[in-house]
Structure 1
Amino acid sequence: MKNVSAKPDTLRRAVAGAVLTLPADCIPLLAEARTDKGDALAAARIAGIMAGKRTSDIIPLCHPLPIHEVDVAFELRDTEVVITAHAETIGPTGVEMEALTAASVAGLTLYDMLKPHAGTNLSLDAIQLLGKQGGKSDHRRQTDQTLAAAILVVSSPATDEAVAESVRQRLTAAGMRVQPPLDVADDSDAIADAMRRQLADDADLVLTLGGIGAAESGHATRAVAALLDRPLPGLMETARAFGQRRAPYAMLADGAAGWAGTTLLATLPGNSADADSYLDALLPGLIRALAD
């Protein structure tokens, strides 16, 4: 089962369809709710909804999700029933399988209820995903632009040796051109001077690593905040909220982010795991901001 704990919760929707081919004389039985087993469309709708909600019990490697909505609709044609199912959640992974399962089970329920009337002259086909929203298809974690990124590593006791390389790899994988990381003393003036040099070099994104924890100096936060023309407090709020669901002390970190001219600045923790967590939360927003 794939680990999705690093993925942020987003609104996700999916629509799936299927087609049941049947004899023409079965269509009135469906429309008038008079099959031998009763109202087949109503039964199939409920069966599809229940199946969509229980998808993770049916498909072994499918994640259980809080399903906020699932529904099934039918269109009766001359010799076909077109089945459409949609599902919605706010979660770390999509609901494509929930929508597909709902459409499939609704079709199988119709198949079962029509067997006394059509025998084997039934066929369930065209089970397919018709559309999806949310997740990486709508919240990009890679850029197709040539963006220059700079990393300043604050020499605080909590900054580990691996953090710069970890962040550099994440930014490179996102399609950015990353300058070699620079070490800087844990001092507000030193950090501000280093950041001004990066601004003069026209970096698109500058990240500091370290100096924002509860037991740290906070020099990185003060230095960055003083340089901002337009703060973006939502970036740090998002990173802390994301981290709080994974570590109980994320609430104690400070931080600053926003625009200094045309350069986006942000403070990240100096611990590799925490910095990765911040990037898990922030990359889609950073890329979107830099693309606008």
Structure 2
Amino acid sequence: MRDISLKPTTLRTARAAGFVKLPPEALARVIEGSVQKGDVREAARIAGLMAVKRTPDLLPHCHPIGVLRAEVKATIAEDGINIEAEVETVSATGVEMEALTAVSVAALTVYDMLKAHASAEQMKIGNIHLVQKKGGKSQYARKARGMKAAVLVMSDTVAAGKKPDTAGASVRDRLGEAGFEVVAFEVMPDDREQIRSRVEHFVASKTDCVITVGGTGLGPKDYTVDVVEPLLTTPLPGFMEAARSFGQSRTPYAMLSRGVAGLVGNTFVATFPGSRRGAEETLAAVLPGLIHLLDVCRTLRPHEGGYE
């Protein structure tokens, strides 16, 4: 299965539908309740709900997730039975396969219960498809179009060439994948004046986003937060609250990060941890909100809304 450990947990829903074509005499039996095996629509509904729970057992690359709500309906149409399913979760992956599996199994249940009352040539399962899905990448993963970013790595040992940088390079690459133009990638020692000078330089250059990597812990030379925090003209504590919550569910040490984020004028500035995993998790947690902030809020475009 694919690694989804860096995907943010969001509210996700999916709706799927399908159709079972039936001859008039079989459909009449469903309506009047004279099918030998019992109530077709109710059996299809229950089978679909059971299928939602068993989807990861049937599909080898489907992640087991906690399903919070599932509904399956089988309704009479002119020449058959419509099947609909809706599934909801709060997870790092979607539920479209659960919805599609529910419809498929419910349709097979209809077919099985009516095969004694109609020939194979008279019954057809078809048009099983995803109607809609919400949440996750399809809803929140906007591209950062026309936005510029600078990544500043603070580390005495990396600056001295004693060890390679991996955290900053990973943040740089992932920002590029998200659509940012990374205009600068710099490594510098843990020096208060140099940190302040470079952050102020990129703010003055009207860079959209400045990410510092390193110096957010409790070490004697972890200066980054102390330098950046007084520069923030509009603190945005929710960004790092989200990052720490995201990290805390993966390591018990995320709470020790002192990272801060906010606007310095119109430039977003955030302080990321110096470990590669910590930096990657922080970016994964804040990226959707960061692009939304720069693309919608800062440019005063109409707000598209969140929950419906």
**TM-score higher than 0.5:** yes
Map of 2:135 onto structure 1 = 134
- Match of residue 190 from structure 2: 186
CA distance in 1, matches of 2:264, 2:49: 50
String of CA shifts for 1:51-75, please: whole Å, max 9, x gaps. 0111001112211111111111122
Query: Deviating runs (4+, > 4 A) in structure 1?
Result: 156-160
Partner residue in 2 for 1:268: 272
SS at match of 1:36: coil
Which residue number in structure 2 is paired with residue 204 of structure 1? 208
Q: Which residue of 2 aligns with 1:245?
A: 249
- Retained in 2: the 8 A contact 1:236–1:257? yes
* Structure 2 residue matching 1:54: 3-state secondary structure: helix
Which residue of the partner structure matches residue 301 of structure 2? none
**Aligned residue number for residue 106 of structure 1:** 106
AA aligned to 2:13 is R
Same amino acid, percent of matched pairs: 44
Counterpart mapping for 1:1-292 below 5 A: 1-120=1-120, 121-140=122-141, 142-143=143-144, 145-156=145-156, 161-215=165-219, 217-292=221-296
Q: CA deviation at 1:205?
A: 0.2
Distance 1:242 1:156 in 2: 28
The aligned amino acid for 1:99 is A
Contact 1:22 1:79 in 2 (8 A): yes
In the alignment, is the contact (CA less than 8 A) between 2:216 and 2:224 conserved in 1? yes
- Give the stretch that moved more between structures: 223-232 or 46-55: 223-232
Residue deviations 1:161-208 (CA, integer Å, cap 9, x gap)? 222222211111111111232234424343222211111111000011
- Structure 1: state its 5+ residue gaps: none
Moved more, 91-100 or 178-187: 178-187
Higher mean alpha-carbon deviation, 75-84 vs 151-160, is at 151-160
| CA distance in 2 between partners of 1:288 and 1:78 (Å) | 46
Q: How many angstroms apart in 1 are the aligned matches of 2:33 and 2:61?
A: 37
Q: CA RMSD in A?
A: 1.7
Deviation at 1:157, TM superposition (A): 5.5
What SS is found at the alignment partner of 2:115?
A: helix
Task: Give me the whole-angstrom Cα distance separating, in 2, the residues matched to 1:18 and 1:182.
Answer: 54
Moved more, 46-55 or 182-191: 182-191
Amino acid in the other structure paired with 2:140: H
CA contact (8 A) 2:16 2:99 kept: yes
Q: Is the 8 A contact 1:37 1:113 kept in 2?
A: yes
Which secondary structure state, in structure 2, belongs to the residue aligned with residue 7 of structure 1? Answer: coil
Q: Hey, what's the Cα distance between the residues in 1 that align with 2:115 and 2:48?
A: 18
* Structure 2 Cα separation of the partners of residues 211 and 157 of structure 1: 12
Conserved in 1, the CA contact under 8 Å of 2:156 and 2:188? no
Contact kept? 1:184, 1:194, Cα under 8 Å:
no
CA contact (8 A) 2:41 2:75 kept: no
TM-score, with structure 1 as normaliser: 0.94
